[in-house]
Structure 1
Amino acid sequence: MEGSNTVTAAAGDATDLHRPFLEDRTVGKPPPPPDVELETVLTDTTVPYVRRVYVGAWIEMRLLFHLAVPAILVYVVNQGMSLSTRIFAGHVSGLDLAAASLGNSAFSLVYGLMLGMGSAVETLCGQAYGAQRYEMLGIYLQRSTVVLALVGLPMTLLYTFSYPILILLGEPKTVSSKSASYIAGLIPQIFAYAVNFPAQKFLQAQSVVAPSAWISGAALLLQLLLTWTAVYKLGLGLMGIASVLTLSWWVIVAAQSLYILLSHRFRDTWNGLNWRAFQGLWSFFKLSAGSAVMICLEMWYSQILVLLAGLLKNPALSLDSLSICMSISAVSFMVSVGFNAAASVRTSNELGAGNPKSAAFSTCVVTIVSLVTSIIEALAVMAARDSVSYVFTADAAVAESVSELCPYLAITIVLNGIQPVLSGVAVGCGWQAFVAYVNVGCYYFVGIPLGCVLGFAFKFDAKGIWTGMIGGTLMQTIILLYVTFRTDWDKEIDKARRRLDMWEEKKDLIVN
């Protein structure tokens, strides 16, 4: 009872600490995240350690799921938009499924590039919000949008010349020809990414995630309706599927932009268009590039598996079965990416607010929750291994191949329950460059070469390729676990303050 009273008192103290922020809300000031309560509980040595952990876990879980659940919905829906194109294509023909899968896999590099560069906004906006430097968030948002749009211009060349690129990679001509037509319809989507991801990170940094979930859900429903009409009523085939996907992304961009412009929630973090967004672009590009390399190397890793499958002795069957497994893995991965976003927001907000114990505690909680979730997903995949492929295709040979690959898929899902969360912590701390080096070493110097040796030299085919790549992911996960849980969080707070001061100084120089 005595410990309980102390915790109650601590909660009361936390409420008192929040009172100025609640008063700020009446005059339009956005309150900082509710981190004071957690830090108070974790540092109250008059309460037994176990009790502090128990109460702190409940506080953190409330904060975590408030962020993670809508973020998971956003990313799952976004992935579902791509997944639905494969489902519709698979019910048109096996060749269309292979073409859409190859197109989505080979050119998902632009998605990864834009998402990765947008994570620079996640680091800066999250830490600035925690430090109550609200006016900088709108500048970061605009500057990132300009940088991503400029980067998107050369990316259009990849889409335009997709056919010769796929042929150069050794993909079959019939599949490459179909894929090139599909990819051409996705060119306007590049610039939708350039606007969407900075806006998404801008909202997440302020713990505003539910509106994005509603917008994405509505866009998915619209896409399903329009794609069904395009395929079954208008007979537009693969080009119709691609055009509807592009349109759906622009619907998300328009709705999300209007929400930011019109909502009073952002009166202090969004002060309208500002010419300063065009200043310091090169410095911002370099920061974004580190983020992009980290995210891209992670996302491209699994897509390389699909590209290598096109070089096996039975490419159509390998592509179909692996693309189905990768589609399932991608949906599961988006759940982890939702936890990744929550981890990034919680870590950056806590570091910006100067709360080391809360940052460390949040990292532990989100990692455990994501791991448990991924284990449940892996068990569900194994239970449905013989029937899950029929969602995509009616081909019995493909279903048998998918069933054989499901154990590898389950292991990948479990590893993906840990690795993306640790990457989210890295984004919150600003470690993107370090993680990029780890990814290069583990993925591209260990995982892929080992997979090629097992798949091609030892004739284990897709299973061998996948085994090698699992080895690379396992190595990367172990390294990130070691580094994360040996972090000096007080030093990270000092780094966060210096980083914000640096960008604040750049802003002042521009003004002067």
Structure 2
Amino acid sequence: MEAMDGNLQENLLNPRAESDVDLKEEIIQESKKIWRVALPSIISRVTSFGSLVVTQSFIGHINSTDLAGYALVQTLTVRFVNGIVIGMSSATETLCGQAYGAKQHHMMGVFLQRSWLVDLATLTLLLPVFVSAAPIFRAVGEEPAIAASAGYISLWFIPFLYSIVFAATIQMFLQAQQRNAVVAWLSAAQLAVHVPVSWVLVSVMGFGVGGAMCALCVSAWVVVAGEFVYVFGGWCEESWRGFTMAAFHDILPVVKLSISSGIMVCLELWYYAILVLLAGYMKNARVAISAFSICLNVGAWEFMICLGMMGAAIVRVANELGRGDAAATRFAIKVVMATSVAIGAVFWILCLIFGRKLGYLFTGDEEVALAVADLSLLLAFSILLNGIYPVLSGVAVGAGLQGRVAIINLVCFYAIGLPIGAVLGYVIHLQAKGIWIGMMSGIVTQTVALSYMIWKINWDQEVLIASARLRRWYLKSGEENQQQICDHS
């Protein structure tokens, strides 16, 4: 009794004690939900992107011309097309996440099939970009040898990109229902296959660039095959009811949301691609392109972790909006943002310490390695920013606000970042460093704008919007139709 009185007295003297305990428990529970989505997504993205980096490393040790050609294709052409495909696929994250939160599980499979139709048609229309890569690069003024190498490498990326259509959309489908652990295992298997196959084809059999690209395509389809087995094999029986003609219903509204999603992501990915293109007009184009792309790829590899947190933000926001809980949505945003910033700070410190040695991992060319070292400080601060703005974009995607983000990206990147980069790089003669400062200027302004947008959002209103969207696109499941028949009889 005395102990109880003591506890009561303590709570009266410290009224925050119990609420602090409750808050800690809520943070722990929310963190578990976030990491259940984020960790597999991070593993998947890091290992998948790791395959691109491993390929770059193998090609970089063949010769510097092919390294520059690969950098052009991977950073320009692949980002251009991949941005459209991945961007349009982000509509799947919004719709599946909100459908799962509203317990409309059967609609998730319908949304997945609709995304396949839209993405496959879009990618097929974009194939001429890859087929005509060499003349395109020559037309924009790239060196003939680099353009020829880029044209050859570009053809190898076609089967790789078709694998991305299925791999990305199925991952989003599984992620929305917190079943994406299998994707992490499959992605780890992809990297485990990719490294030895690349070594055999390039180093042992001497197939050169073609061997490196063949290994990339083979390992990419390993993931897709595993995802097909998991989804079609009965492990998603509530959300996958088989192929259906319902996928062709309401396809235009999905296309509209997909286009706004695609524009949002494309404006961001193309921004980096254009910066690499600008680097190609520097005094020593080979060194500038190679160094710039190496730094971008190192930053992008860490960015894959941030995209995992972005995926968690999308799922948590979409799920809670689908459930109709505005307060839980706001709380999830705070927790995922704090987590992502902490991760970004850790990698920022690591890059400050080891950044000047990064270039030697990708090339034996002393000029390129020194150019990478010169950019390492800017790379470190870019990595710090990576911990913030992807999560803000994820919050917007989870709420279906891709259109607003597209406008912000257009202004911040193309009206602010690119002009500053061009002036500093060419007029002030800071070369690649000036372009990178311009890039960071765009990212900083984008981060500020997104922060303000998220702060001003009325989440109670967003709950109503999400509910209206799900009602408008809802199709009855077979069980519900059967129940109605029974009720009428």
Aligned residue number for residue 41 of structure 1: none
Deviations 1:250-285 (A, max 9, x none): 221111111111133x11111001011123322211
Counterpart residue number, 2:199: 228
Cα deviation 1:444-495 (Å, max 9, x = unaligned): 1110111101111111111111111111110010111111123221111111
Report if aligned partners of 1:85, 1:100 keep a CA contact under 8 Å in 2: no
1:176, distance to aligned residue in structure 2 (A): 0.9
Question: Which of the residues 83, 92, 103 maps onto 1:112?
Answer: 83
Retained in 2: the 8 A contact 1:156–1:190?
Answer: no
What pairs with 1:44-123 in structure 2 (closer than 5 Å)? Answer: 48-107=18-77, 108-123=79-94
Task: Name 1:491's counterpart in structure 2.
Answer: 461
Measured after TM superposition, the shift of residue 51 of structure 1 is 3.5
> Which structure 2 residues correspond to residues 70-469 of structure 1 after superposition, within 5 A?
70-107=40-77, 108-264=79-235, 266-469=236-439
In the superposition, the TM-score normalised over structure 1's length comes to 0.88
Task: Give, as a single letter, the amino acid of the residue that structure 1 aligns with 2:23.
Answer: V
Verify the 8 A CA contact 2:41 2:311 in the aligned structure 1: yes
TM-score (norm 2): 0.92
SS in 2 for 1:186: helix
Cα 1:200–1:484 change in 2 (3 A) is same
Q: Deviations over 1:142-194 (max 9, x none)?
A: 11111111111111111000011112222211111001101111112232122
- Residues in 2 aligned to 1:428 and 1:143: alpha-carbon distance in whole angstroms: 18
1:263 is paired with a residue of what secondary structure? helix
Tell me whether 400-409 or 296-305 shows the greater mean CA deviation. 296-305
Q: Is the 8 A contact 2:420 2:438 kept in 1?
A: yes
Distance in 2 separating the partners of 1:268 and 1:401? 53
- CA-based RMSD of the aligned residues comes to 2.1
| Contact kept in structure 2, 1:186 and 1:243, CA below 8 Å | no
Separation (CA, whole Å) in 1 of partners of 2:17 and 2:396: 31
Name the CA distance, whole Å, in 2 between partners of 1:437 and 1:209.
Answer: 31
8 Å CA contact 1:99–1:175 kept in 2: the answer is yes
Separation (CA, whole Å) in 1 of partners of 2:122 and 2:21: 50
Amino acid at match of 2:274: I
Whether the aligned pair in 1 keeps the contact of 2:157 and 2:217 (CA below 8 Å) is yes
* In 2, Cα distance between equivalents of 1:49 and 1:163: 64
8 Å CA contact retained: 1:415, 1:474:
yes
**Whole-angstrom CA distance in 1 between matches of 2:218 and 2:270:** 24
On the 8 A contact 1:310/1:318 being kept in 2, the answer is: yes
Distance in 2 of aligned mates of 1:473 and 1:422: 12
> Once the two structures are superposed, what CA deviation does each residue of 1:281-340 show, in whole Å capped at 9, x if it has no partner?
222111111111111212222222222111101111111211111110010111100000
Taking a change above 3 Å as real, the CA distance of residues 47 and 346 of structure 1, as seen in their structure-2 partners, is farther
Secondary structure of the corresponding residue to residue 92 of structure 1: coil
| Contact kept in structure 2, 1:116 and 1:294, CA below 8 Å | yes
Distance 2:439 2:210 in 1: 33
Give how far 1:46 is off.
Answer: 10
For 2:469 and 2:270, locate their aligned partners in 1 and report how far apart those are by CA, in whole Å.
Answer: 29
Q: Distance in 2 between matches of 1:303 and 1:81?
A: 19
| AA of the residue aligned to 1:479 | A
Unaligned runs of 5+ in 1: 7-44
Contact (CA 8 Å) 2:48, 2:190: kept in 1 or not? no
Long gaps (5+) in structure 2:
9-14, 482-489
Amino acid of the residue matched to residue 120 of structure 2?
Answer: A
Q: Which has the larger displacement, 127-136 or 222-231?
A: 222-231
How far does residue 507 in structure 1 lie from its aligned partner after superposition?
9.6
Q: Which moved more, 1:53-62 or 1:80-89?
A: 53-62
Quick check: 1:183–1:242 contact (8 Å CA) kept in 2? Answer: no
How many correspondences in the alignment?
469
SS at match of 2:158: coil
Cα distance in 2, alignment partners of residues 230 and 120 from structure 1: 38
Task: Give the drift of 1:195.
Answer: 1.7
Letter in structure 2 aligned against 1:317: V
| TM-superposed deviation, 1:47 | 8.1
Q: Counterpart of 1:270 in 2: which secondary structure? A: coil
In the TM superposition, what is the alpha-carbon distance from 1:395 to its structure 2 partner? Answer: 2.1
Deviations 1:198-254 (A, max 9, x none): 211100000112100000110111111111111112222112222221222222111
Kept in 1, the 8 Å contact 2:396–2:402? The answer is: yes
Q: Secondary structure at the match of 1:385?
A: helix
Q: Distance in 2 between matches of 1:465 and 1:160?
A: 29
Runs of 4+, deviation exceeding 6 Å: 505-508
Q: Aligned partner of 2:396: which letter?
A: A
